[in-house]
Each structure stands twice: as C-alpha cells, then as structure tokens.
Amino acid sequence: MSERIPTYVLGGTGYVAGELLRLIAGHPDLELKALLSDSQPGEAVGAFFPHLRTSWPDLKFSSLEALGNALAAEGRSLAANPAPGGRGERACALFSAAPHGVSAALIDGLLTRAADAGARVRAVDISADFRYSTAAAYEKVYKHPHGAPARISDFTCAVPEQLRDLRTPHVAHPGCFATAVLLASVPLLALKMIEPRLFVAGITGSTGSGRKPTEGTHHPQRHSDLYAYNALAHRHAPEVTACALAASGVEADFAFVPHSGPFARGIHMTVQATLTKSIDSGAAIAALQDYYKDSFFVRVDAGSPRIKNVVCSNFAHLSAAANGRSIAVTCAVDNLNKGAAGGAVQWMNRMLGLEETAGLTAPAPGWT
C-alpha cells in the first residue's frame, strides 16, 4: 500500500477545487484519489483545468457514489494497516470546496459512510457551512436550514496561526476575507492594544466570486475599475466577529467595507482601530512580529504588503503604522491559496501529523 495519504476533494470544476488540485500535485504526502463533480462526473478534469493536465492526464471527475465508495474502501484498508514507524495518522484527507448550503450535507454523508465502514477521515471544509458554532447562528445569516446541525460540534473555525491546540476532528476554514482580517486584528485584540471597534476595508480579486460568470465579474465591467459593495452588510462580517472572539477572547465589532479589485487573485486588507495606549509604528510592527514569530507563513515588516508578493502562495504579508491613538494594519494574502486551498492544506498537514508547511513553501511568482 502507498504511504501517501488518500485524498478526496469536493468542489468539482470550481476555482478553489482547482487550486487544491494544484497544491496536491506538489504535495509530498497527499495523493489525490477522487474529485467530485456534481455536473461533470466522468468528464476529463483537464478539460476544466488545462494547467493541471500534466499532473493528471487521465483523471476524470467522480460521482458522489464513486467517491464515497473509494473513501470508505481506502479508509477501511488504512485502518487495518497501522502507520509504520508512527509516521502521521492513518486517516484519509477530505477537502470540501463545495458551495455553502451544499457542503455540510455532503461532508456529513461521506463521514457517516466512512465511519460505518470503519474508516478514519479528517475533513477541512472551505465553505461557510461549519464556521458558526450553532445552526441558528448560521441560519440567521444564510437564510436556509443548516445541512448537518449534528456535525457542527466536530468542527473548529480558525486561522491555523491563531490556534495551536485543535480539539475537534475537523476544521472549518474561515474564508479569504476573514483570513486577512483575522491575521491583522486578532493579535491586537488579544494583546488588548486596541479598542474592540475596528474599521476594515478589503479589496478582492475576481476569482473570489467563483467560476460562474456574473455581471460583477465580467472582464469589461471589472477590468480597470474599483468599487465598494455590500458596505457594512457583507455576510462574512459576523463570521469574522465569531472567529476573532474565539481566537482573542475579545468580542469586537468589525465595520467592513469590501471592494472589487481589477485583478484575478489576491486580497488587500486595511484594518484601522483606536489604540488603548499611544505607540509608534515600530512598536506596532514589533508586537505583530512577536505574535507571529513561530508562524512560517506570516511575514511582518515595515514594507507595504503587496498582493504581487503573495499571490499564488500560502504566505501572508503584514505591516502596521501607528500615530497617536490611531493604528492601521495592512495585510495581503492570496484568496484562493492562503484564503482557501493553502490554508486548508496547512490545517490538514497539522491534523495528519505531517510537517505543517508540507507542499506549501513555494514563494509567490512575484510578477503575475
């Protein structure tokens, strides 16, 4: 039996699923076994992801039935063959990049089926379905019943750099905007350096809206333009509040204004707040550097974070400026990578006892 970890991806032809496949192609320990497509089962994956054809020339999208069968069989076989030398946990890896409202029921069904077969599975959900700690909180924002309320307590939602001790078998990725906001704000909240009222402006690239074309993502509309949308009413703002509370112990108010940027990948975030005590920019940067001193993927310095320096990578760049009682923290991440697929692989690495950085250390290309 292969020593690599059997890996399953939900999210088919979507952009985040594509990014997961790109990362798995270069991962030393994960081995892709099946990729679910709701609309294209049996079709060649390379037809939708031509840049991945060399990695999987013969891979075809799976149906849910076929993926579930493979997961149960592979997981059962792993459980019957303990890890040689105690290297890593013998479990299958399941990533979901399915849409919210769909993901929870899919994951729940697959986990139930795997458990019935005696298989162990670790899951990371990149959708919003397991980001809240109660079904009621989810339903208030998303306006439909939660797909698997009994599973919610099996998931923790956090940025990997902000939670050392994971106590649940599965993880909910906080999402792309939230990753940038949380990286910028949680240290300051946890250290009680700021008042818990934050003003946040974030600019995202067009891949943040997924593969399906809409008026707002159409190239002639979006190219060479920049505009705000859903000001103070974005659906991810309550998720940020919940994650920030869990990570910092402080209940904070995030006044969030998202913007559409004229680029395909990347997020640039500016978080402003009132300092509890005046400090200068050097002290603000030093506080962030200290908080992230053991975080390989987070770089904090005086230079202005630029999306070109992080796009296509799992790295986050942060900086800060302080003047009197005002502080502004800026953060750049890639929405599809650190903000979705990369952050999910980072969590999976940790859950499976692998090097947390495995398969993720490639720097940004720099000139995208």
Ligand X SMILES: NC(=O)c1ccc[n+]([C@@H]2O[C@H](COP(=O)([O-])OP(=O)(O)OC[C@H]3O[C@@H](n4cnc5c(N)ncnc54)[C@H](OP(=O)(O)O)[C@@H]3O)[C@@H](O)[C@H]2O)c1
Strand 298-300 with 316-323, pairing: parallel
Q: Any alpha helices (H) in 80-129, and if so which ranges?
A: 103-116
CA–CA distance, 21 with 95 (Å, rounded to integer): 10
Closest CA to 181 of 258, 251, 270: 270
**Is residue 38 a contact point for ligand X (CB under 6 A)?**
yes
- 90 or 265: CB nearest ligand X: 265
- Least CB distance to ligand X at residue 78 (A): 25
**Is residue 196 a contact point for ligand X (CB under 6 A)?**
no
**Is residue 313 a contact point for ligand X (CB under 6 A)?**
no
Strand ranges in the chain using DSSP code E only, listed in sequence order: 5-10, 30-36, 92-96, 121-125, 155-157, 170-172, 197-204, 227-228, 253-260, 267-274, 298-300, 316-323, 326-333
Binding ligand X (rule: CB under 6 A), the pick from 7, 37, 156, 272 is 37
**Is residue 99 a contact point for ligand X (CB under 6 A)?**
yes
**Is residue 11 a contact point for ligand X (CB under 6 A)?**
yes
**Is residue 328 a contact point for ligand X (CB under 6 A)?**
no
**Is residue 319 a contact point for ligand X (CB under 6 A)?**
no
Report yes or no: 202 and 269 within 8 Å, Cβ to Cβ: yes
| Catalytic annotation, pick one of 157, 176, 312, 331 | 176
Q: Which stretch in 5-13, 140-148, 187-195, 347-355 sits in contact with ligand X by CB under 6 A?
A: 5-13
**Is residue 339 a contact point for ligand X (CB under 6 A)?**
yes
Q: Which stretch in 36-44, 280-288, 303-311, 322-330 sits in contact with ligand X by CB under 6 A?
A: 36-44
CA angle 205, 173, 130 (to 5 degrees): 120
Q: Measured over all CA atoms, what is the biggest interatomic distance in the chain, rounded to whole angstroms?
A: 62
Task: Assess whether 312 carries a catalytic annotation.
Answer: no
CA–CA distance, 356 with 248 (Å, rounded to integer): 22
Give the residues lining the site for ligand X (CB under 6 A).
Answer: 11-17, 37-40, 97-100, 102, 126-128, 175-176, 207-208, 210-212, 335-336, 339-340
Residues recognised as catalytic? 176
